[in-house]
Structure 1
Amino acid sequence: MYKLQIIDKDETNPTTMRDAIIENNNNNAPPSPSPSPPPPQALLERLKDYGQESVFALWDELFPEERDLLVNDLEAVDLPRMDRIIRCSLRSQGSWLRLPVAAIEPVPEGSVSTVEERTPEERERWWKMGLKAISDAKLAVLLLSGGQGTRLGSSDPKGCFNIGLPSGKSLFQLQAERILCVQRLAAQAANEGSGGSVSIHWYIMTSPFTDEATRRFFESHKYFGLEAEQVTFFQQGTIPCVSKDGRFIMETRSKLAKAPDGNGGVYTALKYSKLLEDMASRGIKYVDCYGVDNALVRVADPTFLGYFIDKGVAAAAKVVRKAYPQEKVGVFVRRGKGGPLTVVEYSELDQSLASAINQQSGRLRFCWSNVCLHMFTVDFLNQVANGLENDSIYHLAEKKIPSIHGHTMGLKLEQFIFDAFPYAPSTALFEVLREEEFAPVKNANGSNFDTPDSAKLLVLRLHSRWVVAAGGFLTHSVPLYATGVEVSPLCSYAGENLEAICRGRTFHAPCEITF
């Protein structure tokens, strides 16, 4: 049905009947009967070469403005690249693995630094090595922040979310203050004063849906105490959605249906935005990469960095032990006899393997869960960006896609951050404890797991243990298991240096402990 407006000659800035008709045509209204010139011949021929000429099916029904929008949208698509991606991904069914059971092996024990095996001397040595590299400006931090908080009931970027801590700090603020704390620790270790001379560059990947809001959030909060010059925002790409036979899906009569290319799109985005060159020009050698939705993430962890440098590997990951066989997490495996380490999603791991027990250790044979806490060399990131582009294999997700025919079943094409690992000549895994470093924020309160409330409690309980270990005391008006105290990242990164603040003092939970 057309929406018509009676226009009075004295009205200013009216919505014209033509505007109303165009708006409704973009929402599947009856087509315009006006004649039209043919589509641009060169573009049509290119589309025919790749079997995508159906995008012009409604060309004769479009208004001139719509034709311009459609042509501009199509001209922006790298058709040879898209055709290669579609063909390679459909042929591989969108999976890196799809390997028979016999081709998947457990991670070799020597590839993992377990919590119980690490000595205090090793931890101290790695901590100092990491701080030294940070003070020498060799580390950058890379944040994957392309997602909105839709499942949390928010249209804002996830990093803007306040999980309900006593301080009311957002995830972005918690992470920024951990960077500030590490800078101070690195400066002190290098005898360089208060920390002003040590700077960790923070690269933040947004998406077209979160970029503007993320930038505004940082600007309005004055970058949470960081210098604006040490924060670089860049966008991940989008990629056309396709039907099961590889045809482009039209979202409207003049626009392709597109979706973000997954958190693994970071590699391509870094390459085409020339940020890998930017890192090299800054003298950066190592990159700490993580996802935004972890309230306990230890950003720029000196111990993990020192371990990574000590091992001399191209890639490393923090891992936690799988809680139970059916837990919906990806796990690290070895791909074939003596092959590289990579990640198998829980849906791709045979149930017999998921439940298999290592008779010597008593734990699951495939127990090392990927929690998106990675360390890479800059040289390796260059290698991955080129390798992924050459191989052009994307994971396929069957979804309902908004289209001119309503929501229709189609395919979104994505790459994942862990797609890098098959390219690594050497990978090391570093076990961490869930209760210390992994508090995911994925689902709204009221869900069974990974909610703001569950993450908040993990933070409060960990920080309460820090306070007690530093000689402090807690009182509380509700059961202690349901509350606790929050230690500002500006006071302590991982529980260190709290004695002067906490010893002999009593804190009433819930509260924030700060300077």
Structure 2
Amino acid sequence: MREMVVGSEGAGREAAVAPPPALLERLKDYGQEGVFALWDELSAEERDLLVKDIESLDLARIDRIIRCSLGSQGLPVPAIEPVPEANVSTVEDRSSEDRERWWKRGLKAILEGKLAVVLLSGGQGTRLGSSDPKGCFNIGLPSGKSLFQLQAERILCIQRLASQSTEGSSGIVPIHWYIMTSPFTDEATRKFFESHKYFGLEADQITFFQQGTIPCVSRDGRFIMESPYKVAKAPDGNGGLYSALKSSKLLEDMAMRGVKYVDCYGVDNALVRVADPTFLGYFIDKGVAAAAKVVRKAYPQEKVGVFVQHGRGGPLTVIEYSEMDPTMACEINQITGRLRYCWSNVCLHMFTLDFLNQVANGLEKDSIYHLAEKKIPSIHGFTMGWKLEQFVFDAFPYSSSTALYEVIREEEFAPVKNANGASYDTPDSARLMVLRLHSRWVVAAGGFLTHSVPLYLTGVEISPLCSYSGENLEAICRGRTFHAPSEITF
């Protein structure tokens, strides 16, 4: 990259080499030529690295995202309304006949190969005190199983239940599992699955793919440089799912496999019911494009996003707790006695494949990302700037028909976000929720428990290979006594 000048006066002196002219002109078109500010101070190797880094960026797309996202600041926020009661299937409204019908309908769709599962697993366990992917984390259950293993075994269980649901079934139909990683977790996630022999699943029924990254920018939209030869980048949020599915041609892959419905969830929930047949059956029954499981907000100040409606008759969407007026968060429905804005988003979603195609195209066209002001590592030390990201719930405004399905928090939502010692969402709290739920399953199936510590501090763990949601336990539990803490398996 440097040219040697020879002669009596210039022997051994390196002549400066300008940045590649065509690349420089492209950067000028987007106001990003500042990335070459330290060009003259770089070695030939560093210049090569910088050029390759810039050439890897889709500058036109990134420029559109920056302009649209910064330009959306200060725009009027649409008025919001509570979610209409008709959009929500509440626990008290559902009959056992409804649940049984939905369960069978969901199992039938699974047996027909119509369901795929998408796992959002791009995050590291930094807040948990681990540098591994979150899914590798062991929350301390008697089995020592990781979150990944718990979820894989629930898929195995549902596959078996689906194959047993119809007489004359030709056998188990694999549920394809698409796992979205990030540049920070991809290699470690793949190696973890490989080293654990895919937890009993077939290797070819799992597809790993990476979410994208996007440059971090200053308040005026200029790229922040992490080093003199590298642009600072950050993952594009869990909503990067949609562009990643599109760019990786995985939406076409799903269609080729005959998939019609997609179950989408986050990795950090120890009680997640992966590929839930009841939820799937409900979703098919409603005939909507999108659906979400929700839990009732525990108290007005709980730090959770909630579903709202954009104006009367508008689409449902999610508003973050930080964006909601505190007075509005406390409003009470005088008829039901509940909070008016009570339906918490817990990242348990169901979409049609057709809708996912619509969302991927719509989000790409609109190019509006959320702006998160963060301290960005840069050549000037940590500097304040914007990380641009999309959220998985950004899909919902594109849906003309969204249904919400209430679940009981203690049965389906045990988040693992903070290290033990924090006041909520810790491995300890998630472990206790699992053990307590499974203890209730044992008692309901006619079993008994003994324990050497207070029962509210312990319990038993039931392997997902034995039971998905408490079913088929009588043969294992009836009349037997189990000492807690322990694992119940085949």
Q: What range is the shorter-chain TM-score in?
A: over 0.9
Offset, 1:98: 5.7
Q: Deviations over 1:40-97 (max 9, x none)?
A: 111111111111111110011110000000001001111111111001111113x9x9
- Separation of aligned partners in 2, 1:161 and 1:82: 34
Partner residue in 2 for 1:326: 301
TM-score normalised by the chain length of structure 1: 0.92
Answering whether residue 45 of structure 2 is matched by residue 65 of structure 1, we say: yes
The answer for the alignment partner of 1:25 in structure 2 is: none
Gaps of 5+ in 2: 1-12
Q: What is the CA–CA distance in structure 2 between the aligned matches of 1:167 and 1:75, rounded to whole Å?
A: 48
Matching residue within 252, 275, 293 for 2:268: 293
**1:296 alignment partner AA:** L
Matched, 1:92 2:91: no
* Cα distance in 2 between the residues matched to 1:191 and 1:48: 67
**Which range moved further: 34-43 or 395-404?**
34-43
Q: Please state how far the C-alpha of 1:351 moved relative to its aligned partner.
A: 1.1
1:119 paired to 2:95: yes
Equivalent residue in structure 2 for 1:159, among 121, 135, 153: 135
- Alpha-carbon shift at residue 461 of structure 1 (Å): 0.2
Partner of 1:425: 400
Q: Deviation digits for residues 464-513 of structure 1, max 9, x if unmatched? A: 00000000000000000000000000000000000000000000000000
User: Structure 2 counterpart of 1:424, which letter?
Assistant: S
Aligned residue among 104, 125, 134 for 2:110? 134
Rounded Cα–Cα distance in structure 1 between residues aligned with 2:147 and 2:400: 34
Matches within 5 A, 1:455-474: 455-474=430-449
CA distance in 2, matches of 1:271, 1:140: 16
Q: Quick check: 1:98–1:348 contact (8 Å CA) kept in 2?
A: no
Match status 1:308 vs 2:288:
no
Residue 34 of structure 1, CA deviation: 5.2
Q: Which amino acid aligns with 1:297?
A: V
- Report the Cα offset of residue 191 of structure 1: 2.7
Does the alignment pair 1:355 with 2:355?
no
**Residues 193-243 of structure 1 deviation map (CA, whole Å, 9 limit, x = unaligned):** 6x9531100000000000000000000000000000100000000000000
Aligned with residue 215 of structure 2, among 240, 264, 269: 240
Gaps of 5+ in 1: 1-32
Q: Please say if 1:170 is aligned against 2:146.
A: yes
CA distance in 2, matches of 1:152, 1:276: 33
SS of alignment partner, residue 60 of structure 2: helix
Query: Using the alignment, how far apart are the partners of 1:111 and 1:52 within structure 2?
Result: 46
Size of the aligned set, in residue pairs, is: 478
What do residues 344-365 of structure 1 show as CA deviations (whole Å, max 9, x unaligned)?
0001111111000000000000
Deviation at 1:425, TM superposition (A): 1.4
Give, as a single letter, the amino acid of the residue that structure 2 aligns with 1:99. Answer: V
TM-score by length of 2: 0.96
Counterpart CA distance in 1 for 2:179 and 2:166 is 27
User: What displacement does 1:99 show?
Assistant: 1.9
Corresponding position of 1:13: none
Are residue 39 (structure 1) and residue 39 (structure 2) matched? no
Quickly say closer, same or farther: Cα 1:48–1:465, change in 2 above 3 A: same
- Conserved? CA contact 2:160–2:172, under 8 Å: no
Alpha-carbon distance between aligned partners in 1 of 2:14 and 2:392, rounded to the nearest angstrom: 48
* Cα distance in structure 2, aligned partners of 1:396 and 1:191: 53
RMSD over equivalenced CA pairs, Å: 1.2
Which amino acid in the other structure matches residue 143 of structure 1? L
Change (3 A) 1:303 1:317: same
Structure 2 Cα separation of the partners of residues 192 and 501 of structure 1: 26
Tell me, in whole angstroms, the C-alpha distance in 1 between the residues paired with 2:166 and 2:33.
Answer: 62
The separation in 2 between residues aligned to 1:338 and 1:39, in whole angstroms, is 54
Aligned to 2:5: none
8 A contact 2:375–2:383 mirrored in 1:
yes
Aligned-partner Cα distance in 2 for 1:76–1:509: 55
Partner of 2:166: 190
* Secondary structure of the structure 1 residue equivalent to 2:351: strand
Alpha-carbon distance in structure 2 between the residues aligned to 1:457 and 1:443: 15
Q: Matches of 2:397 and 2:262 in 1, distance apart?
A: 18
**For 2:173 and 2:484, how far apart are their aligned partners in 1?**
34
Q: Relative to structure 1, is the Cα distance of residues 255 and 460 closer, same or farther in structure 2, using a 3 angstrom cutoff?
A: same
Residue 450 (str. 1) matches residue 425 (str. 2)? yes
- 1:414-472 Cα distance to aligned partner (Å, 9 max, x none): 00000000000100000000000000000000000000000000000000000000000
Tell me the distance in 1 between the aligned counterparts of 2:357 and 2:116.
15
Could you say what secondary structure the match of 1:299 adopts?
Answer: coil
